[in-house]
Structure 1
Amino acid sequence: MTPWSLVCPASRGIGFALARRILQTTNAPVVATARKDIEKTKRWLLAGLEVDEGRLTMINVDVLDESTIANAAAACKEKFPISSNANHLHLAFIIPGILFPEKSPAQIDADNALLTFRTNTLGPMLMLKHFAPFLPKKTVVILTDEYAYQNLPSQSTTAVMSARVGSISDNRLGGWYSYRASKAAVNQVVKTFDNHLRTVSGDNALAIAIHPGTVRTELSREFWESVQKDKLFEKEWVAEKLLDVVKSIGVEGRGRCWDWSGKEVPP
């Protein structure tokens, strides 16, 4: 049986750290995506790791261009044939993100807001559209063999990047209109997709949203100085924590949003 993993994108930031962490701590094949510099990104991901380089497959994906997502899915279908019960997508991190921090309604820009939704919400939706067929169906018997599932979750898990600011009930400060709205929409997408998986996959597959906290990446660079030192996380540490969360949630926590510490983010 070949349970494989997907990280989109994996060219930098949290995705980069997640792909390396999966390579280091599991034996699963990893499909990692990037918009450009495919071979260079592959070298960076493998740098310093004592792993079988054949486990890593790099594929071009731009979540703003559905044709690249469709092509990536086609390439994965060749590598991991859906017709074979031996193959399924067991762990997926779908985490594209962009942020325009509008502080007042006057700062809302239509083009920026549209790009935010296309990147943060529609991009993951299209990834789910094209990669859902790789998830195990109800009829598949998943062999929870210790070797085959080394450090992987018990159920096939799709994790989509959300954010605490996407919580409507937790919104006390306002601002960040397009980012907040796009992440609230992500939570709805995840819940809806998980309801679909309940029907077609039963307990074999589930979907969750994840909140990584404030991480020292380019996305948050503008806010580093305003974040408490103990609340600004390094991407490698967050990758470790998010993998722990994904492994611990199980079917009881499906369809909901969870932060890096394993606490639920309210809708």
Structure 2
Amino acid sequence: MVPWSLVSPASRGIGFAIARRILQTTNAPLVATARKDLAGTKHKLLDGLDVDENRLTMLEVDVLDEDTISNAAAACKERFPTPINQLQLAFIVPGMLHPEKSPAQIDASSALLTFRTNTLGPMLMVKHFSPFLPKKKAIQPEEHDLQGLPPTAAMALMSARVGSISDNALGGWYSYRASKAGVNQVVKTFDNHLRTSSGDRAISVALHPGTVKTEFSKEFWGGVKQGKLFEKEFVAERLVEVVMGVGVEGRGKCWDWEGKEVLP
């Protein structure tokens, strides 16, 4: 049995740091995706790491193009035939932000692109990659087979605290907030499916990374409280630990980088 992991996309930002963290802390195969320059991304992911480069498989995925997702899943099916091999740890982390401050700034095309990237893209990843998660009657991997991966298979989707309706005291960011609230609903709905198909063998969770020092959030660094702007390597370490630790009791919920639940 060969349990494996997935990070999509892994070309930059949090996804890049998570992929490197998994390479450093496990011995399992990792599938990482990028929209372009697969060879260059692979080189950067492996740079400075003392790991077997054969563990890392790069595949082209653009979450706006379902054909690329389908093709990547087909490549994984060939590389990791089920049910002998199973997807044990997955991070689905595409993101886009158009920060509307008022209703007058809402632009239909920008909002649609936000939803396609933040919500529909992860939903399509769930569609094509959920069959790789273990089923109820699948062979339970031995501890040595897990090679640093969690005992309960987990598929984590990137959400955000601003996706919480109960936590929304400031307003603004209409399309981003709504798209991340949608992610939380996708996670809960998918986890209900896993309860039936996988039982306690697989779960789905949403994640809030905090404000991370990446190009994605650069415009907003100045407004972040002292001590609340994090390096991507720190956040990657924390998010991997959170997903490793929540277990079946934490399924279907959104968890922040500290391991605290973000209420809907």
Matches within 5 A, 1:83-232: 85-145=83-143, 147-232=144-229
Distance in 2, Cα, partners of 1:28 & 1:141: 17
Residue matched to 2:31: 31
Residue by residue, what CA displacement relative to the aligned partner does 1:225-262 show, whole Å, maximum 9, x if unpaired? 11123000000000000011001100001000000000
Distance in 2, Cα, partners of 1:248 & 1:21: 16
1:65 aligns with 2:65: yes
1:13 aligns with 2:13: yes
Further displaced range: 135-144 or 67-76: 135-144
SS of 2:118's equivalent?
helix
Offset of residue 140 of structure 1? 0.8
SS of 1:148's equivalent?
helix
Offset of residue 263 of structure 1? 0.1
Q: TM-score, normalised by structure 1?
A: 0.98
Aligned residue pairs total 264
1:40 aligns with 2:35: no
SS of 1:2's equivalent?
coil
Offset of residue 142 of structure 1? 1.3
Work out whether residues 28 and 148 of structure 2, in 8 Å CA contact, stay in contact via their aligned partners in 1.
no
Work out whether residues 11 and 34 of structure 1, in 8 Å CA contact, stay in contact via their aligned partners in 2.
yes
Work out whether residues 162 and 180 of structure 2, in 8 Å CA contact, stay in contact via their aligned partners in 1.
yes
Distance in 2, Cα, partners of 1:189 & 1:136: 19
Q: TM-score, normalised by structure 2?
A: 0.99
Distance in 1, Cα, partners of 2:260 & 2:138: 31
Residue matched to 2:53: 53
Offset of residue 148 of structure 1? 1.8
The letter of the residue matching 1:172 is A
The letter of the residue matching 1:66 is E
Work out whether residues 27 and 148 of structure 1, in 8 Å CA contact, stay in contact via their aligned partners in 2.
no
Distance in 1, Cα, partners of 2:129 & 2:92: 11
SS of 1:6's equivalent?
strand
The letter of the residue matching 1:13 is G
Distance in 2, Cα, partners of 1:247 & 1:44: 25
Offset of residue 217 of structure 1? 0.8
Distance in 2, Cα, partners of 1:229 & 1:11: 28
Distance in 2, Cα, partners of 1:130 & 1:264: 27
Residue by residue, what CA displacement relative to the aligned partner does 1:133-178 show, whole Å, maximum 9, x if unpaired? 1010000121232x22233211000000000000000000000000
Residue by residue, what CA displacement relative to the aligned partner does 1:70-123 show, whole Å, maximum 9, x if unpaired? 0000000000012xx320000000000000000000000000000000000000
Offset of residue 27 of structure 1? 0.7
SS of 1:208's equivalent?
strand
Distance in 1, Cα, partners of 2:209 & 2:16: 14
Q: Which runs of 4+ in 1 moved over 3 A?
A: none
Matches within 5 A, 1:230-245: 230-245=227-242
Further displaced range: 136-145 or 205-214: 136-145
SS of 1:7's equivalent?
strand
RMSD: 0.7
Listed as ranges, the gaps of 5+ residues in structure 2 are none
